[in-house]
Amino acid sequence: MKDDLKRFLDYILKQKNYSPNTAKNYEIDILEFNDYLNKEGINYLDIDYDFIKGYLMELYNRKLSRNSVARKLSSLRSFYKYLFNNDLIKQNPFRYVATPKKEKRLPKYLGVEDLETLFNTPDLNTPLGQRDRLILEVLYASGIRVSELVNVKISDIDFSKREIKVLGKGNKERIAEFGDYCLDAINMFIEDGRKKILNKHHINCDYLIVNEHGMKITTRGVEKIIDNIVKKAALKKHVSPHMLRHSFATHLLNEGCDILTVQELLGHESLETTQVYTHVSNERLRAVYLKCHPLNKRK
């Protein structure tokens, strides 16, 4: 399996444009399945539907959540689809395996006050402070994924239209919008901080966001930067890059943006993926209703 797995991971990274984190999760899930195969004495090319059912029972017996089982199943289905498409197996045994219905988890998001606190934390008198503020601005203003952010080149930005061309999941290109505050942050970093970083290391880089050495930043690098900003801001919560994307979607819906527009801005293939944000919006509507309706104020 080792060689086929290596080729599969290379395929999803380079041709499908999956993030390194996603590829790593796929690798973990597939290697875990391979351990089970070895324990059962079965070759990975010889499994059938009944064997898969036995593996799923093993996962449920370990008290894994439906979401975890669904993720592992998705990883294996993709791997075996790759094997089938490359004529390494005669049929994909995972093709007809039903995916467990996922447990709906409401996305965590930040309030406007917390966002303002974060935005005001980086020191704009320093090159890295300008970069850090820019990271926050772009993630929240456009709603793009962190894996998309790190791949944005300056040439992908249309400054007059305030648009960014991004390459999303499955190599699908879309246009992300941003506003004036984000434009100011982009211009400040490009004209000042970014130049200083690149000049210091005598290097050129096509990518918008660079690390302290003037090289293209990684998704993990962005995560660490946000962790440090949160610590400096003394926010008593964990903030991930994806939480800024959640905040983007939730705030748009709260302000009356229609869900189809939000779906397009997020780059979701399925409306069902976007609809999870309406639950958060509905919670807010319920709270406002209970607070404002005159009959609810009766004692």
Q: Does 140 qualify as catalytic in the annotation? A: no
pLDDT of residue 64: 86
Assess contact for 51 and 94: CB atoms under 8 A.
no
Annotated catalytic residue, options 145, 194, 246, 251: 145
Q: Does 293 qualify as catalytic in the annotation? A: no
Which domains does the chain show, CATH number per domain?
2-85 (1.10.150.130), 112-288 (1.10.443.10)
Q: Does 245 qualify as catalytic in the annotation? A: yes
pLDDT of residue 34: 92
The CA distances from residue 202 to 155, 194, 195, 197, 207, in Å, are: 21, 12, 10, 9, 15
What is the full per-residue pLDDT of the chain (299 aa) written as tens digits? 889 999 999 999 988 888 888 899 999 999 999 999 999 999 999 998 889 989 988 988 888 888 888 899 999 999 999 999 998 988 888 888 887 776 666 678 898 999 999 999 999 999 999 999 999 999 999 999 999 999 999 999 999 999 999 988 777 888 999 999 999 999 999 999 999 999 999 999 999 999 999 999 999 999 999 999 999 999 888 999 999 999 998 888 888 887 888 888 888 777 777 777 676 666 666 665 566 656 655 55
The CA distances from residue 61 to 29, 48, 50, 66, 267, in Å, are: 17, 20, 17, 12, 36
Annotated catalytic residue, options 131, 133, 245, 246: 245
Annotated catalytic residue, options 108, 165, 169, 216: 169
Assess contact for 47 and 37: CB atoms under 8 A.
yes
pLDDT of residue 259: 82
Q: Does 133 qualify as catalytic in the annotation? A: no
pLDDT of residue 204: 93
Q: Does 202 qualify as catalytic in the annotation? A: no
Q: How far is residue 253's CA from residue 261's CA, in Å, rounded to a whole number?
A: 10
Q: Does 246 qualify as catalytic in the annotation? A: no
Annotated catalytic residue, options 66, 81, 174, 242: 242
pLDDT of residue 286: 65
77 CB-contact burial (10 Å; exposed 0-12 / middle 13-18 / buried 19+): middle
